[in-house]
Amino acid sequence: MAKKSISFWQRLWRFVWKSAIWFVVLSVFSTLIFRWVSIPFTPLMLIRCFEQKISGKEIKLQKNWASLQNISPNLQLAVVCSEDQHFLQHFGVDFGSLKKAMKKNEENKKRLVGGSTITMQTSKNVFLWPSRTLLRKAFELYFTVLIETLWSKERIMEVYLNVIEFGSGIYGADAASKHYFNKNAKELSKTEAAILASLLPNPRVYGKNIYSPYMIHRTEWVKKQMLFWGGKLDYTKDKESKNMLQKK
């Protein structure tokens, strides 16, 4: 009996560490591939399509990949101002924002606030499923570090703006621009960019009326933040900060 028990645990341990090795290899490989290859679909897209199907609704999936050069700089700046103002400085996780979010959530448990960075949102959308479990958060942190290590900030922004949900069945900047403003993502004005960025906390709700009182107030706030930033997102700041870290 003792030998069988030891043999079982040995086989279990061998299975666990082999699975872990394969997971690391495949995750690194896929992250490297997506450094250059467009993401065809995400787990969230499939989940939303399944939800539409079982609820008897028509399946809606609007998406169109656009390179970063074909996405308005206004929108790139707007999402940073709205979602992650330390995007160019941190290495995927903004611990200051996380602490603030945790404090707010303790004070008001009915209206939870997220502290996810753009990189964390990208890792969640590209590789994972929507959930608040500790296991999923652990995977999110792992893929966040991988993405920050293997991708540039420009690539992170490009993928983020192509996979993020902007409304019911609407994914990516180009599909959102055409749906809400009947134009390409490259042509977005500052106000239109601020509107799209303001959708992101809850796109399926806020997308029903982009001129609601909340959306108008939020859009004006984002526009003011864009003005404080000088109206431009300078990716060279990320390269400068990385060079300083290497010198240290």
Residues 57 and 81 in one domain: yes
pLDDT beyond 50 at 246: no
Residues 25 and 44 in one domain: no
Taking the C-alpha atoms of residue 75 and residue 214, their distance in angstroms, rounded to an integer, is 19
22, 48, 125, 203, 207 from 172: Cα distances, Å: 31, 15, 11, 12, 14
Residues 139 and 27 in one domain: no
Residues 22 and 58 in one domain: no
Q: For the chain, what is the domain count?
A: 2
For residue range 215-224, list pLDDT tens digits in order: 999 999 999 9
Residue with tokens 């929108």: 75
Q: How far apart are the first and last CA of the chain?
A: 57
Taking the C-alpha atoms of residue 101 and residue 115, their distance in angstroms, rounded to an integer, is 5
Average pLDDT across the chain, whole number: 87
Q: Averaged over 134-153, what is the pLDDT?
A: 93
Whether 155 and 36 have beta carbons less than 8 Å apart is answered as: no
Domain that holds residue 231: 39-247
**pLDDT interval class at 129 (50, 70, 90):** confident
Whether 139 and 128 have beta carbons less than 8 Å apart is answered as: yes
pTM: 0.87
For residue range 37-93, list pLDDT tens digits in order: 999 999 999 999 999 999 988 999 999 999 999 999 999 999 999 999 999 998 878
Coil, strand or helix: which one is 178? Answer: helix
Which residues does 75 contact at the CB level (< 8 Å), separation at least 6?
161, 173, 185, 188, 193, 196, 197
Neighbours of 63 (CB within 10 A): 20
Residues above pLDDT 90, as percent of the chain = 67
pLDDT beyond 50 at 197: yes
Strand order in the sheet with 62-63: 62-63, 170-171, 165-167
Residues 116 and 144 in one domain: yes
Residues 16 and 123 in one domain: no
Domain with residue 50: its CATH number is 1.10.3810.10
State residue 245's pLDDT score: 45
